[in-house]
Chain A
C-alpha cells in the first residue's frame, strides 16, 4: 500500500521539494530532486531521520549559568525531546573546555554531546 509524502531536502540551500512514494518504511520512488543526494536524503528521512541538535546545560561556578552544547553526530529525530530532558538534568562544574564530552553515547544512540566553547570559572 503506497503513500506519498512531500519533503524539502536540506542538503544544500536549494531546498528541492521532493515527492516521495513510500510503501511502509521502504522508499519506492523519489522525484523533484535536482541531484542524487536528494534521493539519499529521502531514504534517510523516511527510514531513519536524524538531526544535529544544539542546546545548553547548566554550569556551576562559571562566568555564565549555561554552556552551549551540541551533538557530535546526527541524533535520531523521534528521540530529540528525550535528549533534551536528559540535558536538563546535567549540571557541569566550571571550567568547561570546548569539545569536552558532556554526555557520552546518550540514550544508547552512540551519539556524544560536546561542549561548544570554553567556559571559564567565575
Chain B
C-alpha cells in the first residue's frame, strides 16, 4: 500500500483516542484515513495496561487493556484505515503539513485535510516534583516500570517504594507483588487517595501493602543504585514536619505523581494550550483553535476511564471527516465555559449552541477537593441555572461529567459565559 501525499484525515497516535477517531472518520465518510504511530504496533498505552477495568461502559464487559485495544485495532483494519507504524511525527504546521520519519519509509511529508491529535500523556518526573537526593539507578516513573515488566519482560528491582497513590502506582503495586517483588509502602502527599477506590481495595488492601497519606519522599539515598528513601510527613500546606523522618530501605522508587498531556507537536502547529489542563483549548467537537486540527483523549486532559476517551475520539473523528469534506475557517457564536466553585477545569472550553441543538454535549471536569457527600453539579449563566445533576460524591481522582441536553441550546445561545460549579446539597 503506497503512501499518498494527501489524506482526508490523519490521526497521530493509535491509542484509544486515535483509534476511535480514525474508525469513526472512515465510517463518517472520509475517503482515506491514515494513522501515524511511533511504536511498531497499534494500541498505544493500552498494550502495557494488562489489568482489567476497560470497556465497562462501551462494551458492558470488564476487559484487559490489550483486549480493549484489540477490538479497535481489528475494527480499524476492517473499515480500511491505513497505518504508518514505527514512524515518528517530527513537525506539523497550522495548515496541516506533517513531517515524519521512520526506519522503513525514511523521511515523509504528508498533507491532511483534517488532523486529529492523539498523542496521549507523558508522566511527571522526579525533577518536576523537586525530589532531592542523589541520582542513582533505580528511580523510575510507574509507566516506564510497567513497560519493562509487562512488555520488555524485566523487573526493574526487588524492593519497591511507590510515591503517589494514582491508579498507575496502585496497579503497579499489585503487578510487582504478583511477579515476586515486595512493595514496602505507597506514599501519597495529599490527605486523600489520588486514584480509584477500586484500585485501593484490589491492589493495596488485598495484599496488605500499606498506604500512607501525607508523607512524601524527602530524598533518595544511594550512590550507584537506590539503597533507601527518606520520607517525612507533611502538613496541609505541604511543609515537612521536622522530626517525622523515616528511612525505608529499598532498591527502587516508583513515581506515580501525575500525567501531563503531551503537546509538543500541538505547539508547533500553533495550537493554544490551557495551562490548567496542559492540553489544547477545544470546542464541543474537540476542534482546537486551529481550524481542521482536532484532539482526542489524554492529549486534551487526563481521563479516568478509557471508555470516555473512546467517546471523545468518536466525536473528534466525526467532526474531522466533516471538516475534510467542508472546511470551515471559523464558526462564530461560541460560548465560553469556565470552571466555578470547586471545579479545577472543564472540557470542552467553548460550545457552539447550534451543535448543542443537534446533539447533547457532555461536559467533563475534575474537582479541586473531594466531597464525600451528595452534591449538585450545575451549569449557570449568571443567575440562571441551565442544567443540574446530582452526584453522591465527587473526588479529584475521578472525572465528573454533566451532559448538557439539546433543549438547553436556546438558553446557551443567549448566554455570555457558562460557569460550571460543584456544591454540597
Chain A residues with a Cβ under 8 A of chain B: 8, 10, 13-15, 34, 51-56, 58, 63-66, 68, 70, 77, 80, 84, 98, 116-118
A51 contacts across to B, CB distance below 8 A: 202, 206
Contact B202 A10 (CB under 8 A): yes
Instruction: List the 9 shortest-distance A-B pairs measured between CB atoms, nearest first.
Output: A15-B197, A68-B50, A117-B66, A65-B153, A116-B64, A116-B66, A10-B198, A116-B67, A54-B51
B294 contacts across to A, CB distance below 8 A: none
Ordered by A's residue number, 30 sampled pairs between the chains whose C-beta atoms are within 8 Å are A8-B201, A8-B205, A10-B198, A10-B202, A14-B392, A14-B393, A51-B202, A52-B52, A53-B178, A54-B51, A54-B52, A54-B64, A55-B179, A56-B50, A56-B150, A56-B153, A64-B153, A66-B150, A68-B64, A68-B66, A77-B206, A98-B67, A98-B70, A116-B50, A116-B65, A116-B66, A116-B67, A117-B64, A117-B66, A117-B70
Kindly identify which residue among B62, B70, B198, B392 contacts A34, using a CB–CB cutoff of 8 Å. B392
> Taking A14-B392, A15-B197, A118-B70 as contacts, is the C-beta distance between A70 and B178 under 8 angstroms?
no
Supplied contacts A54-B52, A117-B47, A117-B67, 9 more A-B pairs, CB within 8 Å: A15-B201, A55-B50, A55-B179, A65-B153, A77-B206, A84-B179, A116-B50, A116-B70, A118-B70
B137 at interface, CB cutoff 8 A: no
Count residues on chain B whose CB falls below 8 Å from chain A CBs.
32
Contact B67 A8 (CB under 8 A): no
Kindly identify which residue among A10, A13, A65, A117 contacts B152, using a CB–CB cutoff of 8 Å. A65
Contact B40 A63 (CB under 8 A): yes
Q: How far is the CB of B111 from chain A (nearest CB, A)?
A: 32
> Taking A13-B398, A55-B178, A98-B67 as contacts, is the C-beta distance between A70 and B52 under 8 angstroms?
yes
Q: How far is the CA of A34 from the CA of B392 in the complex (A)?
A: 10
B200 at interface, CB cutoff 8 A: yes
Q: How far is the CB of B210 from chain A (nearest CB, A)?
A: 16
Q: How far is the CA of A52 from the CA of B66 in the complex (A)?
A: 15
A70 contacts across to B, CB distance below 8 A: 50, 52, 64, 67
B410 at interface, CB cutoff 8 A: no
Q: How far is the CA of A80 from the CA of B398 in the complex (A)?
A: 28
Contact A13 B153 (CB under 8 A): no
Q: How far is the CB of A46 from chain B (nearest CB, A)?
A: 15
Q: Name B200-218 residues within 8 Å CB distance of A.
A: 200-202, 205-206
